[in-house]
Amino acid sequence: MAKRSRQAPSLPSDDNSDFSQDSDGDPDFGNISQPATQSLLQDTRVRKPRSAAVASTAKRRAADAEDDESDGETTVKNKKARRNTIIGKLEDLDFEVEKSEVSASVTKTRKSGKALEVESVSAKTTKSIAKAPEKSGKDTPKRKRKTKEEKAAEKMPLADRALKCAFKIGAHVSSAAGVENSVTNADRIGANAFALFLKSQRKWESPPYKPANVTAFKKFTKTKNYDSRKHMLPHGSYLVNLAQKDTEKAAKAYTSFIDDLKRAESLDIGLFNFHPGSTLGEPRDEAIERIANALNKAHKETSFVRTVLETMAGQGNVIGCKFEDLRDIIALVEDKSRVGVCIDTCHSFSAGYDLRSPETYRAVMKEFDEVIGFKYLSALHLNDSKAPFNSHRDLHQNIGLGFLGLSAFRNVMNTKEFHDLPMVLETPLEDDDVSVWAKEIKLLESLVGLEADDPKFLALEKEYADKGAAERKEVLDKLEKREAEKGEKEAKKKERAEKKAAKEKLKDEKARKKPPKKATGTKRGKASKGASDSDSSELSELETESDSDASSCGGKH
Ligand SMILES: [Zn+2]
Ligand SMILES: [Zn+2]
């Protein structure tokens, strides 16, 4: 995990303040690319200390245990399952959960005669507390338990929903302590669409939903007036790579993937967004075929959820940084009504698709339509980019502050083809303060109908560009420094190779000099041969460079 420290201005009417988030680091290509920012965003989202939520979950589980037990049919197996559910929740939710809060559930459950079972939970929880500093960093301060007032404030609506807006904008909200909470979390920030994780995306297996969670999810969906088939966009696990060649690993990835799709259908969710995958160095066409095969199989095992391929930033073996990758996957999908595409503005910009000016934006959209087709466009992720154009780096930034700037989002918010599609923010938050998203949603909605030369828009664009200027400069300086270091390294490498070649030539020369009488003639021959060798060594260096360029994704756009 990359280090945390970055300053960014917040959104309008707020003071500038520090916010911590993943600011750097390349994706880890263990099994699949995991965008550093995304990953950390998720970490902050999921690891957010929600002592109250944890305690109430534990209490609820304990109460469930009590109900189950009263039937007198509890087996060791479901005891274990319940315990694991609680532990799983605790691990997912909070690395800093306080022991005392879990004790509350212990006391309660003891009264109902479940001391044995709950004691084991308590022990596990303590273990997870003990692990916390290791995972979250030595200097991480322990967070205080929230007061009643703070808890109440967390439930207060932050913005009204613009129900009449043709664009359905929202954010990737937390579903901690119950998948149904995602609905209320979305409603609270004024989101008309939203994304969520259907299970922990850091683990391969999660316990199934309880019927009560599913019922609550559907009830909230109805009361809060969301269209779950159209405007909810779950995000797949970062662990899953459907392009995986290794049979065992591929089976593991598929199992997790199909589990997610079935979860989506159990909640009546119509879309499921995921990262296409990584070739892991294998031939691209074969990797693409493996993805399509997995999708075909998954479509047969489910009935309606549409699998949505996300556009990627393009790092090494990542599939999806070019529209052509997605086109090629779709071409191999048998049931075209079950496959779609999600444009991530940050990823695509970073992959070389320039969305900034109205002209370049139009060209990109035209290219999208020609290569993939708007009929496949199912969703958008709205993120500004901390990394410059065509940098192939996946670093999300708040709207208007990054290298995309507000102009790109004005373009997006005036594209009729996006009407009624879920448009989801995955922008960084300071201290999990979701009011940032509430403001960003309103900001984006305010761009609808604004012309590029509208003085109101130009003033707004400048205001945001100015706020993000320092951070953009910092990133550029860093990249420049990195490039310089890379250049220096390469120069040294070249120098070493040349020295080595010269040394070897000298050795050759000495060997040939052995018959002492022929020494003079050989010298001349050697000098000219030396020059040509050095040329060829330079050539081979260049070849190596161009090879590595070819293997990385894109650079063309
Ligand atoms: Zn994603
Ligand atoms: Zn995304």
CA 290 to chain centre: 22
Closest listed ligand to the CA of 344: 2
- The total number of residues shown for the chain amounts to 557
**Residue 4 DSSP symbol:** B
Please, are residues 509 and 526 in contact by the beta-carbon 8 Å criterion?
yes
pLDDT tens for each residue of 493-516: 999 999 999 999 888 888 887 766
Closest listed ligand to the CA of 381: 2
Distance CA 530, CA 407 (A): 56
Please, are residues 404 and 355 in contact by the beta-carbon 8 Å criterion?
yes
Distance CA 178, CA 57 (A): 8
Closest listed ligand to the CA of 426: 2
Instruction: Give residue 397 CA to ligand 2 midpoint distance, Å.
Output: 12
pLDDT tens for each residue of 334-376: 999 999 999 999 999 999 999 999 999 999 999 999 999 999 9
Three-state DSSP class for residue 552: coil
Quick one: what percent of the chain has pLDDT higher than 70? 66
Instruction: Give residue 494 CA to ligand 2 midpoint distance, Å.
Output: 39
Least confident interval from 141-155, 269-283, 402-416, 519-533: 519-533
pLDDT tens for each residue of 40-90: 333 333 333 444 444 444 444 444 333 333 333 334 444 444 444 443 443
pTM of the entire structure? 0.67
Residue ranges in 189-283 assigned as alpha helix (H): 211-223, 247-266
Instruction: Give residue 241 CA to ligand 1 midpoint distance, Å.
Output: 13
Closest listed ligand to the CA of 379: 2
The whole-number pLDDT of residue 515 equals 67
Task: Kindly list the catalytic residues.
Answer: 202, 235, 238, 275, 310, 344, 347, 381, 394, 396, 426
**Looking at the domain 166-197+223-449+456-476, which fold is it?**
TIM Barrel (3.20.20)
Taking the CA atoms of residue 195, residue 403, residue 363 and residue 378 in that order, the dihedral angle to the nearest 10 degrees is 0
Locate tokens 């709207």: which residue? 399
Instruction: Give residue 238 CA to ligand 1 midpoint distance, Å.
Output: 8
Instruction: Give residue 466 CA to ligand 1 midpoint distance, Å.
Output: 28
Instruction: Give residue 47 CA to ligand 1 midpoint distance, Å.
Output: 18
Instruction: Give residue 366 CA to ligand 1 midpoint distance, Å.
Output: 23
User: How do strand 318-319 and strand 377-382 relate by DSSP bridges?
Assistant: unpaired
